[in-house]
Amino acid sequence: MADTATTAPVAAASAASASSDAPPFQLGKPRFQQTSFYGRFRHFLDIIDPRTLFVTERRLREAVQLLEDYKHGTLRPGVTNEQLWSAQKIKQAILHPDTNEKIFMPFRMSGYIPFGTPIVVGLLLPNQTLASTIFWQWLNQSHNACVNYANRNATKPSPVSKFIQGYLGAVISAVSIAVGLNVLVQKANKFTPATRLLIQRFVPFPAVASANICNVVLMRYGELEEGIDVLDSDGNLVGSSKIAARHALLETALTRVVLPMPILVLPPIIMSVLEKTALLQARPRLLLPVQSLVCLAAFGLALPLAISLFPQMSEIETSQLEPEIARATSSRTVVYNKGL
């Protein structure tokens, strides 16, 4: 006898009406192919779409119910693939995949750009004092830590001490580097005041990039000691690999370095050009709004590009892993969850 749980989505899939643009719906799977950079870019554009911040409670319940109907094969006639993909997008944007609880709006991936842009503007403000440098670096790392925690893998219990350790390490490294570089620039007599101001605008990047690496290493150090799960092509657990954990950590750290690069490097370059225009020289009050728009554009471009560098589920050849992993499967390659 056929298994009901297996046949239900098949029946629901046949009940879903075909759409001219949308591909056939697959529950829990990405809408776009993850083997190409463009496919991953389209996928993450959906994940960070800020329009999902305005979804009502009623619309969320409807989306969840629609997916439940699909899962159990009780989908009403006339539902399109586009509607199913839209429902899944809403659910994934608002509810945590492991706990099914709502993620606080500022800490959702879809809220990362709207709530993070004012912090970026603050980081790039000219003529920073010691106090303002410390404040903006602290606020930035606090926001990052809350986003990381809210979107963490909750399948295995993780001690709060790990979160606190990563948070403190990130704050201390960010503040130390930012303050240290600012002091060095201020003491450099070779620079003219204009050159000194320009260099100071680039200080946030090395501070934030270093703090991001520190945060990833401290919060995920346990993975290097215990390894992470690797799966075969059918999704079956093969074993736990420390080598795969090393690859995952390296890919995530590289993503965290690339992410702030356009956000904290492009705006100072663009603003140094715009500030010389007649419009902004005649109306200095427009400087902050213009800088905010430039930061928003850079943030909106950088986030999906950075997190699309590597697939969420990365592939690695078994020959590169521990001998016991290679012996445990006949598959030539296995996959692991890289994390974000």
Largest alpha-carbon pair distance within the chain?
A: 83
Tell me if 6 is assigned to some domain. no
- pLDDT greater at residue 60 or residue 275: 60
Residues 6+ apart with CB under 8 A from 311: 34, 35, 40, 338
Question: For residue 16, what pLDDT is reported?
Answer: 58
- pLDDT greater at residue 12 or residue 108: 108
Q: To 5 degrees, how large is the angle CA 11–CA 57–CA 111?
A: 100
Is 166's pLDDT higher than 70? yes
Question: Are 227 and 329 in a shared domain?
Answer: yes
Question: For residue 1, what pLDDT is reported?
Answer: 43
Question: Are 87 and 115 in a shared domain?
Answer: no
Predicted confidence band at 339 (pLDDT cuts at 50, 70, 90)? Answer: low
Domain span at 285? 109-337
Question: Are 87 and 123 in a shared domain?
Answer: no
- pLDDT greater at residue 140 or residue 188: 140
Question: For residue 49, what pLDDT is reported?
Answer: 93
Residues 6+ apart with CB under 8 A from 323: none
Question: For residue 173, what pLDDT is reported?
Answer: 83
Mean pLDDT value of segment 274-280 = 89
Among 60, 95, 130, which residue terminates a domain?
95
Predicted confidence band at 302 (pLDDT cuts at 50, 70, 90)? Answer: confident
Q: Which helix (H) or strand (E) holds 230?
A: strand 228-231
Tell me if 1 is assigned to some domain. no
Mean pLDDT value of segment 263-272 = 86
Question: Are 187 and 67 in a shared domain?
Answer: no
Is 15's pLDDT higher than 60? no
Among 95, 128, 152, which residue terminates a domain?
95
Is 119's pLDDT higher than 70? yes
Mean pLDDT over each residue of the chain, to the nearest integer = 82
Predicted confidence band at 12 (pLDDT cuts at 50, 70, 90)? Answer: low
Tell me if 188 is assigned to some domain. yes
Show the tokens assigned to 20: 């001219």
Question: For residue 94, what pLDDT is reported?
Answer: 93
Tell me if 7 is assigned to some domain. no
Top-confidence range, 11-15, 38-42, 336-340: 38-42
Question: Are 88 and 114 in a shared domain?
Answer: no
Question: For residue 157, what pLDDT is reported?
Answer: 65
Tell me if 103 is assigned to some domain. no
Question: Are 161 and 47 in a shared domain?
Answer: no
Distance CA 122, CA 133 (A): 9
Distance CA 273, CA 271 (A): 5
- pLDDT greater at residue 137 or residue 14: 137
Question: Are 202 and 66 in a shared domain?
Answer: no
Distance CA 320, CA 163 (A): 31
Q: How many domains does the chain have?
A: 2
The strand pair at 228-231 and 237-241 is best described as antiparallel
Among 69, 95, 121, which residue terminates a domain?
95
Show the tokens assigned to 282: 């005649």
Question: Are 67 and 196 in a shared domain?
Answer: no
Give the SS3 label for residue 231.
strand
Question: For residue 4, what pLDDT is reported?
Answer: 45
Is 243's pLDDT higher than 70? yes
Mean pLDDT value of segment 91-95 = 91
Tell me if 186 is assigned to some domain. yes
Tell me if 100 is assigned to some domain. no
Question: Are 160 and 261 in a shared domain?
Answer: yes
- Identify any residues that bridge with 237 across adjacent strands, giving them in sequence order: 231
Question: Are 115 and 30 in a shared domain?
Answer: no
Show the tokens assigned to 6: 């297996």
| DSSP string for 249-294 | HHHHHHHHHHTHHHHHHHHHHHHHHHTTSHHHHH-GGGHHHHHHHH
Question: Are 164 and 251 in a shared domain?
Answer: yes
